[in-house]
């Protein structure tokens, strides 16, 4: 599990070659990828991350049932859900964010998923079924299963894990507005995904989202304080819980159309800092996502009430466009990769690219452009920058390698992932203990099990370098929240491979 994505303020001017590469149609059109195949694999990755009893249609066959007694010691059923990355802990905060982003992709680009739409919905439901269990008790959200420190001292398959499956929760005495509001956002967003295909499930999701958000708002406080020893430094909330409250309200407004959430957003816009840190978007900081999401209301002519969010969204988008803004926290490598100082860089690449695409979609429908001071950018320009990042991931980079396992001729073979790096139960039925797995961790050999579709952390600086080494987890570990926004991006480009010609989905 990667360390928290902290970005420094050190500026690095983007080279002119990068500007040309990112904004010219010719450079983007240089290669064509099978985005549909990449989408299929991107979704398949989530099956490799499943915890619990695996269903009969499980396609990642080298995985087996795991965590079948999760929650039992606390008298609650917490089986299922996803392992967030290469370890065996279930972290509720990034899992909920993952579900929210997967749902957003389906909501905005559902028609582009084509034959992959149902498997994408199944990926969302594996998360939301778990989140429904985690919120079944009123005024309580179970936010983690597993002792991260004990788990990280072992290298073992999830099928063999014998480290404590300690259960952690937030409640009125131990508030966690951030994780609870993110969970509410996930449930609300998913309720839209299932509105037509399963109306009864959709209603249950929305009803629960309403209750969980009410708890998050009424009992305010960061879960990093209530559960500091358990969740820090892995998934500490560095940005505070205020952004999640706005984020949760925004998704509840979108899902329910209830006036109370509209009023909540406007009433708390300044108090909860809607305009703060808008250059960030990820499991920790939702500010940029809030502004892009709410801006759709303005761009579609539905709510001028939220005009300030549109201004914030424009300001954010401008920071991502090379040649228009040299924002100190947004940089590009010579090969064209967006990067922010820190680890697991591909989370920034996919999450920020998704916001570029979503905003371009809203602008296209409204016939609008992004205002960047004395200049402006068209929706097509935004799509080109997003597509350039997707193409970099799929192999258009100086190393000519795909950062998605199983896609292309060359891809990472030694990813930082326990289940992938240790022989499967089918190949090695005998248990492999906590310390016995260390030999596989240290081995220079490729992983025996392909975690198809996994996108690793990738290059973390301006060098475009990648060591393909298990020990360098900052670069070689995949996470669910790298893949989650990539689903929507790949779906869109599979249906609209030429961003200059395509409009909204």
Q: Which residues are catalytic?
A: 416, 468, 477
Cα(96)–Cα(119) distance, rounded to whole angstroms?
18
The 3-class secondary structure across 155-167, one letter per residue, is CCCCCCCCCCCCE
Judge residue 422's burial from the number of C-beta atoms within 10 Å of its C-beta, 0-12 exposed, 13-18 middle, 19 or more buried: buried
Which H or E element spans position 387? helix 379-394
Question: What is the DSSP code (8-state) at residue 174?
Answer: B
Cα(94)–Cα(82) distance, rounded to whole angstroms?
10
Longest dimension (CA), the chain: 66
State the first-to-last Cα distance of the chain, in angstroms, to the nearest integer. 34
Q: Are 91 and 144 in contact, with CB atoms under 8 Å apart?
A: yes
Q: Are 387 and 381 in contact, with CB atoms under 8 Å apart?
A: no
Q: Are 84 and 477 in contact, with CB atoms under 8 Å apart?
A: no
Concatenate the DSSP letters of all residues of 50-83 into one string: B-BSPPTT---TT---B-TTTTGGGTS-----B-
Q: Are 148 and 1 in contact, with CB atoms under 8 Å apart?
A: yes
CA atoms within 13 A on the CB side of 151: 27
Concatenate the DSSP letters of all residues of 202-267 into one string: HHHHHHHHHHHHHHHHHS---HHHHTHHHHTTTS--SS-SHHHHHHHHHHHHHHH--HHHHHHHHH
Residue 67, Cβ neighbours under 10 Å: how many? 23
Cα(350)–Cα(393) distance, rounded to whole angstroms?
9
Cα(71)–Cα(444) distance, rounded to whole angstroms?
37
SS3 456: strand
Cα(215)–Cα(255) distance, rounded to whole angstroms?
18
Question: What is the DSSP code (8-state) at residue 111?
Answer: G
Which H or E element spans position 370? strand 370-372
SS3 450: coil
């Amino acid at each position: 599990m990667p360390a928290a994505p902290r970005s420094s303020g050190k500026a690095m001017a983007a080279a002119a070659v990068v500007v040309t590469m990112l904004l010219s149609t010719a450079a983007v059109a240089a290669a064509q990828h099978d985005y549909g195949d990449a989408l299929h694999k991107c979704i398949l990755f989530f099956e490799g991350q499943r915890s619990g009893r695996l269903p009969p249609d499980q396609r990642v066959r080298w995985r087996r049932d795991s965590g079948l007694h999760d929650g039992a010691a606390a008298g609650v059923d917490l089986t299922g859900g996803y392992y967030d990355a290469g370890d065996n802990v279930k972290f509720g905060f990034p899992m909920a964010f993952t579900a929210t982003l997967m749902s957003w992709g389906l909501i905005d680009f559902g028609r582009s998923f084509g034959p992959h739409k149902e498997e994408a919905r199944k990926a969302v439901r594996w998360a939301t079924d778990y989140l429904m269990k985690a919120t079944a008790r009123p005024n309580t959200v179970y936010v983690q299963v597993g002792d991260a420190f004990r788990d990280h001292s072992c290298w073992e398959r999830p099928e063999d894990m014998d480290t404590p499956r300690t259960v952690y929760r937030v409640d009125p005495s131990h508030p966690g507005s951030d994780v609870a509001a993110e969970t509410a956002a996930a449930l609300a967003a998913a309720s839209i995904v299932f509105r037509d295909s399963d109306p009864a499930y959709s209603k249950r999701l929305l009803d629960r989202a309403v209750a969980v958000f009410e708890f998050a708002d009424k009992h305010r406080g960061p879960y990093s304080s209530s559960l500091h020893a358990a969740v820090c430094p892995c998934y500490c909330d560095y940005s505070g819980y205020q952004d999640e409250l706005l984020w949760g309200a925004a998704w509840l407004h979108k899902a329910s159309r209830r006036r109370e959430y509209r009023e909540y957003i406007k009433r708390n816009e300044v108090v909860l800092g809607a305009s703060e840190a808008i250059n960030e978007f990820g499991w920790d900081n939702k500010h940029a996502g809030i502004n892009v999401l709410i801006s759709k209301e303005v761009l579609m002519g539905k709510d001028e009430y939220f005009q300030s969010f549109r201004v914030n969204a424009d300001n954010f988008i401008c920071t991502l466009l090379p040649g228009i803004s040299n924002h100190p926290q947004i940089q590009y490598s010579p090969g064209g990769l967006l990067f922010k100082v820190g680890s697991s860089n591909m989370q920034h690449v996919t999450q920020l690219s998704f916001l570029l695409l979503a905003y371009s979609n809203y602008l296209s429908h409204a016939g609008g452009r992004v205002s960047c001071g004395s200049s402006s950018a068209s929706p097509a320009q935004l799509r080109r920058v997003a597509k350039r990042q997707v193409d970099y991931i799929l192999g258009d980079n100086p190393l000519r390698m795909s950062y998605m396992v199983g896609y292309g001729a060359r891809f990472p073979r030694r990813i930082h992932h326990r289940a992938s790096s240790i022989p499967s139960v089918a190949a090695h039925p005998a248990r492999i203990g906590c310390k016995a797995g260390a030999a596989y961790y240290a081995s220079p050999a490729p992983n025996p099990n392909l975690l198809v579709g996994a996108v690793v952390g990738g290059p973390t600086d301006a060098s475009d370098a990648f060591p393909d080494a298990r020990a360098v987890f900052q670069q070689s570990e995949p996470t669910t929240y790298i893949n989650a926004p990539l689903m929507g991006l790949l779906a869109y480009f599979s249906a609209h491979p030429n961003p200059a010609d395509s409009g909204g989905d």
